[in-house]
A and B are shown apart, each in its own frame.
Chain A
Amino acid sequence: MRTKLTLIALLLTLSCALPFSARANRDGFSDVVKAIEQFYHVKHQSIPFLARTGMKAMRTAAKIKGGEWKRLAEAGSVRVVFFEDQSFDSHGQIASFKASVQRTLGADWSALVQTLSPKDEQQTHIFIREVGQKFNVLVVEIERRDATVVQATVKPEVLAELLKDPGEMGKSLTDEATTADP
């Protein structure tokens, strides 16, 4: 009887602890990539693209706004995933995808800017999360045949500059993370 009770108590503890552990391990970047894959039935490409862009992101200096900023993202903080030459057709449900991205990310992330053009299947979603003294910026860019997900850590002063033109923010960060070095 005592063993049974102990076992029940153990199972109860585990069942309570597991969701918390899952929450703690929640990673907005991977969650969004999964959400895109599930909604559009596509697969992301991480190698060798990730290696190439990741290395590039670490060593490049952003030349945005005529070189006004030395670096947009903190060194080594950029994560990139590509979806290339696949079909991104929302079948008239682009608003549902927007809502599903927000649901996936949960309350940790705040939606800052979301732009949608269903006719061209173009979307940009920018989410922000505070991490200590800095911010994580997550940019999802989807077009008819390609998509990019970029997550970068930025200093508040960089975020302040980006916020002045939130519409351009996604482009700036994605360009920095994905433009090949000369």
Chain B
Amino acid sequence: MKTLFRTLLGTAPIMLLLVLGSVMSARAQNAKLQLDQLDALANRASNTVDVKLDEHLMQTTLKWLGKDHDDAELRDLLKSVKGIYVKSFSFDKENEYSPVEVESVTSQLRSSGWNKIVGITSKKEGENVDVYLMQLGDQISGLAILCVNPKELTVVNIVGPIDLEKLSQLEGSFGVPDLDLVKPKTKKDNDK
């Protein structure tokens, strides 16, 4: 009995690490938004773009990116990312989609773990862009960008840690649309 107790005590840290690891992995998975319910909008939209880059595909191909500076930066930015998912719908007329469809996304972003970041805006005129982060301690475990306009609905969902400072590098690459995201200048930035 004593030996069994000692063995159990010895393996406890490993078990704890395993449990923590699975919890962290589950949290990272939670950062993936359910967006398939938006697919029916494709019948009404004038243009639809649907991009799905899962972790396996990203990590398998990232190491093969070129050796120039831009590729190295992209590789560094995406090294821990577990997926990039984009759904974008453009419409000819205003209000071709209902608030229910937007709510199906925002309700997920209101759930625990997600926080809306104030301050990140789009330079594009008329763009109404909200950025949400899911954090695990100090680390970002997911990001969502929601662009809701009368003639457009775009959702970008990045699963896994991502450097917010370098987020703009991703615009126009890997299916992430160009949203002209800008962070407000801090006092420190202005002093430079």
Which A residues lie at the B interface, using CB under 8 A? 92-95, 98-99, 110-119, 128, 130, 155-157, 159-161, 163-167
| B-side contacts of A160, CB under 8 Å | 61-66
| A-side contacts of B40, CB under 8 Å | 95
| Residue B74 lies at the interface, judged by CB distance under 8 Å to chain A | yes
Are the C-beta atoms of B46 and A117 separated by less than 8 Å?
A: yes
| CB-defined A-B contacts under 8 Å, sample of 23 | A93-B43, A95-B42, A99-B39, A110-B57, A111-B52, A112-B52, A112-B57, A113-B49, A113-B175, A114-B48, A114-B50, A115-B48, A116-B42, A116-B45, A116-B48, A118-B43, A118-B46, A130-B56, A160-B62, A160-B66, A164-B173, A166-B175, A167-B49
Chain A residue with Cβ nearest B44: A118
Q: How far is the CB of B53 from chain A (nearest CB, A)?
A: 7
Which B residues lie at the A interface, using CB under 8 A? 39-43, 45-54, 56-58, 60-66, 74, 92, 172-175
In whole angstroms, how far apart are the Cα atoms of A115 and B88 in the complex? 9
Partner of B57, one of A95, A114, A128: A128
- In the complex, besides A95-B40, A111-B52, A114-B50, 20 extra interface pairs with C-beta distance below 8 angstroms are A92-B43, A95-B39, A95-B42, A95-B43, A110-B54, A110-B57, A111-B50, A113-B49, A113-B175, A114-B48, A116-B48, A116-B50, A118-B45, A119-B46, A130-B60, A156-B64, A161-B66, A163-B174, A164-B174, A165-B172
In whole angstroms, how far apart are the Cα atoms of A99 and B43 in the complex? 12
| A-side contacts of B62, CB under 8 Å | 160
In whole angstroms, how far apart are the Cα atoms of A156 and B92 in the complex? 38
The list of the 9 closest CB pairs from A to B, nearest first, reads A157-B64, A160-B64, A95-B42, A160-B61, A116-B48, A114-B50, A156-B64, A95-B43, A166-B175
Q: How far is the CB of A164 from chain B (nearest CB, A)?
A: 5
| A-side contacts of B58, CB under 8 Å | 163
Chain A residue with Cβ nearest B38: A95
Chain A residue with Cβ nearest B87: A114
Q: Which of A93, A161, A166 has the most CB of B within 10 A?
A: A166
In whole angstroms, how far apart are the Cα atoms of A116 and B40 in the complex? 12
In whole angstroms, how far apart are the Cα atoms of A92 and B39 in the complex? 13
| B-side contacts of A94, CB under 8 Å | 42-43
In the complex with contacts A95-B40, A113-B49, A167-B64 CB distance below 8 A: no
Are the C-beta atoms of B47 and A163 separated by less than 8 Å?
A: no
| B-side contacts of A155, CB under 8 Å | 64
Q: How far is the CB of B178 from chain A (nearest CB, A)?
A: 11
In whole angstroms, how far apart are the Cα atoms of A89 and B56 in the complex? 36
Q: How far is the CB of B43 from chain A (nearest CB, A)?
A: 5
| A-side contacts of B50, CB under 8 Å | 98, 111, 113-116
Q: How far is the CB of B84 from chain A (nearest CB, A)?
A: 10
